[in-house]
Amino acid sequence: MKKVCLLCERTSPDNNLFCQEAFCPAEMSPYILDYGEWLGDIEITRSVSTLRSSAIYEAQHNGQKVLLKIAHPGPEHTERLKREALLLKKFANDKVPERSLPRLLPPYAKATIDTDPYGKAMLKGQLLYYCLFEHFDGAPLRNILIKTPQLWIYHIGWLMLSLASTVALLQNKGFMHCGLSPPGVLVRFEEGSAEPQLLLADLGIVSDGQNLATNWYAEAVLPAYTAPELLEKPPQANYATDVYGIGLILHELLVGQPVFPFKLSNDNDIYAAVRKNQRVRMDRFEDVEEMATLAVKAISPAPGDRQQNAAALAAALLPVFGTTPSAKRESWLQPRTVLILIAALLVTAFVITMVIFVVQALAKTAA
């Protein structure tokens, strides 16, 4: 177990975290669990992604591999996780067949998501709130981009179609994300499938427009991915705010590096760059003109100049790439299928033999 500063990412194996940022409340820095540690009856397998509001782990619960999401200390982080759990419960109850959203699991051995969509457990004297999700064996998009900065263009297109369609589901329920960023998106490349699989592992601020002023807090969102209108006082947002987030990720995938080419000294410097619309320029048009044009439009400083919502952006991407490919089918029959076919053939042969025997017997009787 170690403490981590969410601002400069400095870590400490004990409680003595001295952050280099003067304005960092180091005493509120979250604990990040290591392999083999426990939260209640949940055993940590590995850390997957550390976000500004929570941490995501791979874990074991009742002999089942799961994803565990723990809110960082603080009432705002806790309330954000509760809103996320309640919205995911609504999707589960509505039987929405969307594989790109987390699927809630009961947090306790004898519970249901209807009664307990999220759980609570004590750790180091702190009451922590958490959610359990069905397992998804993926890596944060940020990690994938560090390893492979320039993804294949069709992988970029299919990932963006999936992300835009998933955010459109949230918007269809009347909710806005307001915090899309690569660390909150998990991706895996499955063998036998051309299409990369995506999980939107974090639902951001999880707010409708009416309660945005109450639910919004800047500490939950990476500064570089904060839309300009959210920096106003009071913060402003509509569905085009999430288009900005999707557009930033698309911009980053196309240029092959983070939206800011250098590490700014603190959050306020990054906010200043966001207000001035300063980021890595989109110079890649020759081979991806249609996608680059969509990305530039999506990250326009004025919300009215963007695509109006995530569904509109998905509709604009679809003609460029078409529908995502289905999984590749095996060219050889599986052993079980072969056995079933053999059994069927044997039964058919037996029935035919019996019919011939009966017909011959009846013919002899008639003669």
What CATH code is carried by the domain that includes residue 175? 1.10.510.10
What whole-number distance in Å separates Cα of residue 310 and Cα of residue 185?
16
Within this chain, do residues 233 and 145 fall inside the same structural domain, yes or no?
Answer: yes
83 contact partners, CB below 8 Å, separation of at least 6: 206, 207, 215
DSSP string of 244-293, one letter each residue: HHHHHHHHHHHHTS-SSSS--SSHHHHHHHHHTT-S------TTTHHHHH
Helix (H, G, I), strand (E, B) or coil at 116: coil
What whole-number distance in Å separates Cα of residue 54 and Cα of residue 121?
15
Within this chain, do residues 164 and 237 fall inside the same structural domain, yes or no?
Answer: yes
The half-sphere exposure of 123 on its side-chain side, counting CA atoms within 13 A, is: 23
Within this chain, do residues 114 and 193 fall inside the same structural domain, yes or no?
Answer: no
Best CA proximity match to 264, nearest among 8, 20, 17: 8
CB under 8 A, 24+ apart: contacts of 317-324: 317/157, 317/160, 317/161, 317/164, 317/291, 318/161, 320/157, 320/290, 320/291, 320/294, 321/154, 321/157, 321/158, 321/161, 324/158, 324/161, 324/162, 324/195
Within this chain, do residues 162 and 122 fall inside the same structural domain, yes or no?
Answer: no
Within this chain, do residues 148 and 125 fall inside the same structural domain, yes or no?
Answer: no
Strands 126-134 and 119-123: antiparallel
Q: What is the residue whose two structure tokens read 């947002």? A: 237
Residue at a domain's end among 81, 107, 134: 134
Q: What is the pLDDT of residue 152?
A: 92
Residue at a domain's end among 78, 102, 134: 134
Low-confidence ranges of the chain (pLDDT < 50): 17-18, 22-23, 26-27, 327-340, 342
Residue at a domain's end among 134, 152, 187: 134
Within this chain, do residues 108 and 173 fall inside the same structural domain, yes or no?
Answer: no
Any domain includes 18: no
Q: What is the pLDDT of residue 278?
A: 86
Any domain includes 12: no
Q: What is the pLDDT of residue 331?
A: 37
In 70-96, which positions are buried (b, 16+ CB within 10 angstroms) versus exposed (e)?
Answer: bbbbbebbbbbbbbbbebbbebbeeee
Best CA proximity match to 267, nearest among 231, 236, 233, 303: 231
Q: What is the residue whose two structure tokens read 């110079």? A: 283
Judge if the upstream peptide bond of residue 234 is cis by omega within 30 degrees of 0.
Answer: yes
- First-last CA distance in the chain: 92
Within this chain, do residues 153 and 204 fall inside the same structural domain, yes or no?
Answer: yes
pLDDT tens-digit series, residues 25-51: 544 578 899 999 999 999 999 999 999
Domain count, the chain: 3
> What CATH number is given to the structural domain containing 92?
3.30.200.20
Any domain includes 183: yes
Any domain includes 214: yes
Within this chain, do residues 89 and 165 fall inside the same structural domain, yes or no?
Answer: no
Q: What is the pLDDT of residue 283?
A: 83
Within this chain, do residues 268 and 367 fall inside the same structural domain, yes or no?
Answer: no
Alpha helices in the chain (DSSP H): 75-93, 141-147, 153-172, 212-215, 239-255, 267-275, 289-298, 310-321, 335-366
Any domain includes 10: no
DSSP string of 192-254, one letter each residue: T-SSPEEEE---TT-B-STTHHHH--GGGS-GGG--GGGGSSS----HHHHHHHHHHHHHHHH
Any domain includes 147: yes
Per the CB < 8 A criterion, the answer to whether 303 and 238 are in contact is yes
pTM listed for this prediction? 0.81
What whole-number distance in Å separates Cα of residue 150 and Cα of residue 126?
42
Within this chain, do residues 128 and 143 fall inside the same structural domain, yes or no?
Answer: no
Per the CB < 8 A criterion, the answer to whether 130 and 77 are in contact is no
Q: What is the residue whose two structure tokens read 């307990």? A: 116
Question: Which residues constitute the domain of residue 358?
Answer: 333-367
Within this chain, do residues 189 and 313 fall inside the same structural domain, yes or no?
Answer: yes
Any domain includes 228: yes
Any domain includes 3: no
Within this chain, do residues 316 and 338 fall inside the same structural domain, yes or no?
Answer: no
Q: How would you classify residue 279: left for phi > 0, otherwise alpha for psi between -120 and 50, otherwise beta?
A: beta
**C-beta atoms surrounding 278 within 10 Å:** 13
